Amino acid sequence: MKKFVLSTFIIILVLVGVFVFYTYPRQVSQSINGVEYRLGTAQSDVIPIIIDINGKLSRSLKGNRTFIGTIHITGASIPNPDENRQLQIKFDNKGQGRMVYGYFESGTPFMHEYGIIFTNNDFSTFTIEEFVPEGNGSGGWMASNGLMMSGPASNRTQALNISNDLMKDVLRGYILK
């Protein structure tokens, strides 16, 4: 009987330990050199950027990741309204998460959706679909001519390879060019 109780206690302790290890938030602190480029035109300008990611990444029991922290992008053609604001990015099962900044201007709440980010598990590789603002303030993205950021990359070919790899579950066979 003592062996049964001790065995049960050890199994429960191991399960709790695995649960805590799996779901415990991990610090993410990355500075990645990348490029910004437009899809569809092989001769488009490639703009060097630096993305600084600082925050905590946690996982749910279902494996869904949540990032809480800041993402600073230096060199992008579409500036973020305020990079010091905290983001909470919930990644879905395809690895994509919305970059939505909420803030107040003169007491009125605003939300700005910068784009959709895809990352690998440790945030050392990323790609972002940038939403280009249109006349009414909203923005969009298209695979045929959308604005992208990817890193670590120093040229368009590297950036496209990263984007196609990280976005493969969303693209379902379509190849970004």
Q: Specify the pLDDT at position 85.
A: 74
Q: Specify the pLDDT at position 49.
A: 95
Q: How many CB atoms lie within 10 A of CB 153?
A: 25
Q: Specify the pLDDT at position 134.
A: 73
pLDDT in tens, 98-144: 998 877 778 888 777 889 999 998 889 999 999 887 766 667 788 88
| Rounded Cα gap, residues 40 and 161, in angstroms | 14
Residue 54 vs residue 63, higher pLDDT: 54
Q: What would the mean pLDDT of 17-43 be, rounded to a whole number?
A: 82
| Rounded Cα gap, residues 82 and 138, in angstroms | 17
Q: Specify the pLDDT at position 96.
A: 93
Domain ranges of the chain: 25-171
DSSP codes joined into one string, 44-72: ---EEEEEEEEEEEEE-TT--EEEEEEEE
pTM higher than the cut 0.75? yes
Residue 170 vs residue 61, higher pLDDT: 170
Question: Considering all CA atoms of the chain, what is the largest pairwise distance in Å, rounded to the nearest integer?
Answer: 75
120, 177, 175, 112: which is closest to 152 by C-alpha? 120
- Of the listed ranges 20-24, 65-69, 115-119, 169-173, the one predicted with least confidence: 20-24
Residue 147 vs residue 104, higher pLDDT: 147
Type and span of the H or E element at 162: helix 156-166
Mean pLDDT (the chain, rounded)? 85
Res 62 pLDDT > 70: yes
Q: Specify the pLDDT at position 83.
A: 56
Q: Specify the pLDDT at position 6.
A: 74
Q: What would the mean pLDDT of 18-26 be, rounded to a whole number?
A: 73
Q: Specify the pLDDT at position 168.
A: 93
Q: Specify the pLDDT at position 154.
A: 95
